[in-house]
């Protein structure tokens, strides 16, 4: 503080040698007009306004320049404050106002996780209820994607988000991703329609095993022994659950396995299709392509049955309004939970997201058992727990490896 006061005194004394005292007093405050907001005035006073160089360039004509009362009072109020306060205000002037979201990022991330789980659970519940009176998974899969595509088109129309341009090169790399996404989505729904939701999610816990196998034998990446060992409980748990699952049938089991393979290849093609486009636009384009992929098999496989008695039976059971509203909301929840899963991944580290993904599966399995009252054997329950624990261990090791790679690249 003393050094600043002394420097201020020296400056003023230097000014007095260059100008007459009367000229200094009038020119200083009339000509030095703040260019920023009110919070910038302190910075101008201490950093720039009282420099002799500025006053040397100021001519006496400036005194006659019409200065408002507001312009004169700003420097006066700032100069009347202590140097420490002026320094603080200068520092505060450079910091933008902090909102609630920026002040509590953990709260926002927690909200993302909660909505991700909530939407996923609601989707699975509505989806299974639809299959109880409308067992046409190919058509329902098309509805999932159709509602999501309409949502994306409306969002683009209002500029939330702004649509990213698409070119032929990006389209070529996204088509394989979308095809695998469509195949995995349809086969997942075939499994949901055929067996209990909890059993489908238990089988889908094998997806990390297929990812590791594809990385090792297709991409040529060396998978550490620790990762392979962590997958052993997953395989064991799924096997135990499958042997005594009361709702077991081969259609549901094989469809869930094909879904695992499809999503594994989706991950492989996604790595080859890395782009600077934001995740929201990428997922929108993938959904559009996947929709066109899913329509032909739905028409070929289920079209005749739907026209003959599928729609009429569903409307007779629940009514037209209930039927249409269920299809709309299941599609909306499907799109939103997938979009939130992507947005959550962008906010957290890979390890946090991996743990969150495991917990999501636990929530879905638990809530589906409670809502639908599915009876499971003791061996199935133990096997499911072992499989989920194995996925958690694998996700932990995998995420730690990814973080170490990122740190090595940064270094």
More confident residue, 323 or 61: 323
**Is 7 within the bounds of a domain?**
no
Phi, psi of 40 (to 5 degrees): -85, -10
Domain for residue 340, yes or no? yes
**Domain range enclosing 109:** 105-410
Q: What is the pLDDT of residue 103?
A: 73
Residue 80 CB: number of other CB atoms within 10 A? 10
Q: Is the pLDDT of residue 212 over 90?
A: no
Give the model confidence (pLDDT) of 14-32 as tens digits: 444 444 444 444 444 444 4
Instruction: For residue 297, name the pLDDT band (cuts at 50, 70, 90).
Output: very high
pLDDT score, position 100: 59
Instruction: Tell how many helices (H) and how many strands (E) occur in the chain.
Output: 19, 0
Residue bearing the bigger pLDDT, 148 or 246: 148
Rounded mean pLDDT of 129-134?
Answer: 95
* 0.75 surpassed by pTM: no
Q: pLDDT confidence of 75, banded at 50, 70, 90?
A: very low
Q: Mean pLDDT throughout 59-73? A: 45
Inside any domain, residue 69: no
Does the pLDDT value for residue 366 go beyond 70? yes
- Across the chain, mean pLDDT equals 77
Which long-range CB contacts under 8 A does 74-80 form with residues at least 24 apart?
74/34, 74/38, 74/41, 75/28, 75/29, 75/32, 75/34, 75/41, 75/44, 75/45, 75/49, 76/29, 77/41, 78/41, 78/42, 78/44, 78/45, 79/45
Tell me the pLDDT band of 295, cut-offs 50, 70 and 90: very high
- For residue 252, is pLDDT > 80? yes
| DSSP per-residue codes, 96-131 | PPP-HHHH-HHHHHHHHHHHHHHHHHHHHHHHHHHH
Number of domains in the chain: 1
The reply to whether 47 falls in a domain is no
Q: In whole angstroms, how far apart are CA 272 and each of 209, 266, 275, 360?
A: 20, 10, 9, 27
Q: Which of 50-54, 61-65, 292-296 has the lowest mean pLDDT?
A: 50-54
Q: What is the pLDDT of residue 140?
A: 97
Average pLDDT of the segment spanning 118-129: 93
What's the chain's Rg over C-alpha atoms?
32
Residue 129 belongs to some domain of the structure: yes
Q: Which of 6-15, 280-289, 315-324 has the highest mean pLDDT?
A: 315-324
Please tell me the predicted confidence (pLDDT) of residue 358. Answer: 74
Per-residue pLDDT, 47: 36
On whether residue 391 sits in a domain, the answer given is yes
Whether residue 243 is contained in a domain is answered as yes
Q: What is the pLDDT of residue 184?
A: 94
Q: Is residue 55 part of a domain?
A: no
């Amino acid at each position: 503080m003393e050094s600043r006061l002394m420097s201020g005194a020296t400056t003023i004394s230097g000014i007095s040698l260059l100008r007459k005292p009367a000229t200094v007093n009038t020119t200083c405050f009339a000509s030095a007009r703040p260019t920023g907001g009110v919070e910038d005035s302190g910075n101008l006073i201490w950093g720039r306004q009282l420099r002799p160089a500025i006053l040397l360039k100021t001519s006496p004509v400036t005194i006659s320049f019409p200065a408002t009362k507001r312009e004169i009072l700003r420097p006066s109020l700032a100069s009347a404050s202590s140097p420490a306060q002026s320094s603080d205000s200068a520092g505060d002037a450079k910091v933008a106002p902090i909102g609630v979201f920026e002040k509590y990022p953990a709260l926002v991330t927690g909200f993302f996780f909660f909505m991700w789980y909530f939407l996923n659970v609601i989707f699975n519940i509505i989806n299974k209820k639809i299959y109880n009176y409308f067992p046409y998974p190919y058509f329902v899969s098309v509805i999932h994607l159709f509602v999501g595509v309409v949502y994306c088109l409306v969002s683009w129309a209002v500029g939330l988000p702004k649509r990213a341009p698409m070119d032929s090169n990006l389209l070529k790399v996204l088509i394989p991703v979308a095809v695998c996404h469509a195949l995995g989505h349809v086969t997942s729904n075939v499994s949901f329609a055929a067996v209990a939701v909890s059993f489908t999610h238990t089988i889908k816990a094998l997806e990390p095993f297929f990812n590791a196998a594809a990385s090792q034998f297709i991409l040529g990446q060396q998978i550490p022994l620790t990762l392979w060992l962590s997958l052993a409980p997953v395989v064991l748990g799924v096997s135990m659950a499958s042997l005594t699952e009361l709702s077991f049938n081969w259609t549901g089991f094989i469809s869930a396995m094909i879904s695992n393979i499809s999503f594994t290849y989706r991950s492989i093609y996604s790595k080859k299709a890395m782009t600077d486009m934001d995740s929201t636009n990428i997922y929108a384009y993938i959904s559009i392509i996947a929709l066109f992929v899913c329509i032909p098999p739905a028409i070929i496989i289920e079209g005749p049955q739907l026209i003959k008695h599928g729609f009429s039976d569903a409307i007779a059971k629940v009514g037209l309004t209930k039927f249409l509203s269920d299809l709309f909301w299941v599609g909306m929840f499907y799109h939103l939970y997938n979009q939130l899963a992507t947005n959550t991944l962008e906010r957290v580290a890979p390890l946090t997201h991996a743990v969150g993904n495991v917990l999501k599966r636990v929530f879905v399995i638990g809530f589906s058992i409670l809502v639908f009252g599915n009876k499971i054997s003791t061996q199935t329950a133990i096997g499911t727990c072992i499989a989920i624990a194995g996925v958690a261990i694998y996700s932990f090791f995998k995420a730690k490896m990814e973080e170490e790679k990122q740190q090595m690249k940064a270094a």
